[in-house]
Structure 1
């Protein structure tokens, strides 16, 4: 037994110790696995460090280390001697800060801008937090009630009429324009012998159409005359509008059987409008009027960007659905609209909306300069949103709509409840990218004499009290930080929404 030898596959000595594994966690592991794990990454890391050294370090030195923080005029931001360097002139920002925020808004009325900002933040934050309840009510207040309240807060003034008077005046103005146009065509047809008969027929048709519309509007005109003859025309108009709208919603929702909820919602809505009108004194002239020519700075930037983003979404959705429609007229109109607005630069759109749009409105009907720019930007952005949304609609399988049809859902319910929510979820990055681009493009409104944040900044440079070599760079650095904060915030929130909506697709 002592001569027994172990089999050859049995090891006779201990296995030597292996080297310790390379650390892959912590700061050292990050450097080893991400930055210096290959020759190419080593070169890229060194290049990135050099880029940061030659860009970030001078920027920090200019903005913080060598910056001037106190002073009353340009002398505080001038170098004492040629061999000394002076950084950012922050006293210039402090002196012009209120102008950057409010523009030329009267100082005594700036509380109205602060209140508008506070209301917008108070209504927007609950919409951005998913766990908070009452999203439908909050959305209605933010997208419907807030714009009306903000208009009377920022612009001021009161109401001379409500729904009935406003609608009667608008329709009558358009009808008068149609009749005047027809009469001018009839007169002009006598001077053009070649196509005179065609122009005469078109003019006569417009005149007859205007006469027919006049008789159709007679009940509305009669009601408006009765309202104007009452003791309090505004409240009489308000009551008539509330009654007409509530009854229409009641009958459209099903009448006696299922229309009571719509009637109650309509009456509660008009009750809320009544309270707001009474509190703001809109029947007594309201707040002092501040024309939009006095608006400026961050106020104009936020108004143009928010209104453009909110108004362009329904326009884009309607155009995207219209471009996929099976009705040729709707599809051709949507394609022509999208291609036209995407084929012209935004500057052209702003010039057209500012100087040409008043030529197409009825006689006696005026549109404010800021409102013209808002209309142009909303239509321009809507054309781009339409193509983004159409890409999301094409990503939805046809079986989704077929399954909804099999369940008996109409086209409207299928689109609103099944197809469109999935399509919008797919195109969140594209939509937010368009929002960010629109927010930055608001600086173009300064071309049509609207002083946004950059426009006010350029106007502030003309002040000789703060004319220094570093004032220009300080101002652009300040506005750049503001633009970056808003754009970065939109980008990060869109990533949060994407992760939350796509949580069910994670493995």
Structure 2
């Protein structure tokens, strides 16, 4: 008879845990990352090797041109010209001529803005980037005050500092008063059509136009500053003025147009659709030509608008139409239950949009909004065709100076422009990614 063992003699379950051991070397560290990310399969390996070959072919010559063989100091074209043109480089050509960029740096930033008055541009830059940093950094307090500063105080201060103030605005008081009366009548009519209380809307419209009258008074005051015409502006100054104005105007106008396109009022919906489709149906270069060349032909004799102001209005209206469609996509992406829940809470239309719908919709379309901002920032280069010398236009105009004429002058100028545009656009892209991660509160499972 076979010997019968007791249950205690046979261990089916381990009584003591084994000590922790490190993961195999092939599944951790740099080697594991390369294996999983770059060489996980034969097609991935071939693609990785091909990309490495392209980097090997492209990157070293670019770095050699921008840094290794570049010329950093000098007073004229001789330091950057070929040997046949008076240079001293043994192999016959140089890398980037950064000495030329340094000599023209002031013009690239300020254009023809008077040197003795450039402190005003510097103050505007400090106010803008300081206020923007306080608004974009989450840990900085007083966000509401910062928004008021950037939306009201800063534009007025920047306009006075850049132009010098004392702007002739006497002829605008009567048209503005007529427009204020029409706005009050329209606001009252729409409130009655929608069966809502007209008093809040009338108060908002009245406050807006009172603010505009105060603004006109401030702009007409003599601050004792030298008046600088916008024709003297140029370089990075013009690029930032156009881009910031277009961005600041396109977002609220685009939101209003998107809400108007989804409105239950047929008149509001019709005019919103017409506006959006018209501006999306014409290229920006046509808008700029129309604002610069054709618009003055339709104005009464003796009435004229500043060329930069016309470009700003055209860019803002053009980008607002695209922004409206981006915002409309976010509004349509929200489930119907969000609207029904807001109405069940007893919120009126304005409260529902401000507290429930728009915060969620704008969060969903952050990539589209920033993409529109980046496109607008790069499209500022088109103002060169109407005689406004932005950053790229100022670089191109410098090529006519024989002092720095060399075979690498144009390549250096365009490389400098590409680097500057990349810095601004990449910064906007990275910040949008940061905001997406910060606001991503409930869409991942």
Q: Same fold (TM over 0.5)?
A: yes
Q: Which residues of 2 match residues 314-333 of structure 1 at below 5 A?
A: 314-333=252-271
Q: Is 1:408 aligned to 2:346, yes or no?
A: yes
Instruction: Name which of 151, 154, 157 aligns with 1:146.
Output: 154
Root-mean-square deviation over aligned CA pairs: 3.3
Tell me, in whole angstroms, the C-alpha distance in 2 between the residues paired with 1:369 and 1:84. 45
Describe the shift of the 1:132–1:331 C-alpha distance in structure 2 as closer, same or farther (beyond 3 A).
same
Tell me, in whole angstroms, the C-alpha distance in 2 between the residues paired with 1:103 and 1:4. 103
Q: Is 1:487 aligned to 2:429, yes or no?
A: no
Instruction: Name which of 105, 116, 123 aligns with 2:131.
Output: 123
1:190-216 Cα offsets, whole Å, 9 max, x none, are: xxxxxxxxxxxxxxxxxxxxxx99xx9
Q: Is 1:21 aligned to 2:27, yes or no?
A: no
Tell me, in whole angstroms, the C-alpha distance in 1 between the residues paired with 2:339 and 2:367. 24
Equivalent position SS for 2:40: coil
1:104-128 Cα offsets, whole Å, 9 max, x none, are: 1111110010010001011111100
Residue 59 of structure 1 is matched in structure 2 by 62
**Contact 1:322-1:334 at 8 Å conserved across structures:** yes
Tell me, in whole angstroms, the C-alpha distance in 2 between the residues paired with 1:284 and 1:83. 60
Tell me, in whole angstroms, the C-alpha distance in 2 between the residues paired with 1:314 and 1:24. 51
Instruction: Name which of 221, 231, 240 aligns with 1:283.
Output: 221
Equivalent position SS for 2:221: helix
Name which of structure 1's ranges 57-66 and 152-161 shifts more when overlaid on structure 2.
152-161
Equivalent position SS for 1:289: coil
Quick check: which has more Rg, 1 or 2? 1
**Contact 2:288-2:311 at 8 Å conserved across structures:** yes
Instruction: Name which of 173, 181, 198 aligns with 1:167.
Output: 173
Structure 1, unpaired ranges of 5+: 11-19, 176-211, 217-250
Q: Which residues of 2 match residues 44-193 of structure 1 at below 5 A?
A: 44-79=47-82, 80=88, 83-158=91-166, 166-168=172-174, 170-171=176-177
Residue 415 of structure 2 is matched in structure 1 by 477
**Contact 1:112-1:153 at 8 Å conserved across structures:** yes
Describe the shift of the 1:328–1:273 C-alpha distance in structure 2 as closer, same or farther (beyond 3 A).
closer
**Contact 2:165-2:221 at 8 Å conserved across structures:** no
Tell me, in whole angstroms, the C-alpha distance in 2 between the residues paired with 1:345 and 1:161. 32
Per-residue deviation, 1:85: 3.5
Tell me, in whole angstroms, the C-alpha distance in 1 between the residues paired with 2:267 and 2:221. 45
4+ aligned runs moved over 6 Å, structure 1 = 3-6
Question: How many residue pairs were aligned?
Answer: 407
Residue 13 of structure 2 is matched in structure 1 by none
TM-score scaled by length of structure 2: 0.83
Equivalent position SS for 1:283: coil
Tell me, in whole angstroms, the C-alpha distance in 2 between the residues paired with 1:413 and 1:358. 42
1:279-303 Cα offsets, whole Å, 9 max, x none, are: xx97335311111111000000000
Describe the shift of the 1:302–1:378 C-alpha distance in structure 2 as closer, same or farther (beyond 3 A).
same
Describe the shift of the 1:304–1:284 C-alpha distance in structure 2 as closer, same or farther (beyond 3 A).
closer
Per-residue deviation, 1:365: 3.8
TM-score scaled by length of structure 1: 0.74
Structure 2, unpaired ranges of 5+: 11-22, 83-87, 186-197
Tell me, in whole angstroms, the C-alpha distance in 1 between the residues paired with 2:268 and 2:351. 20
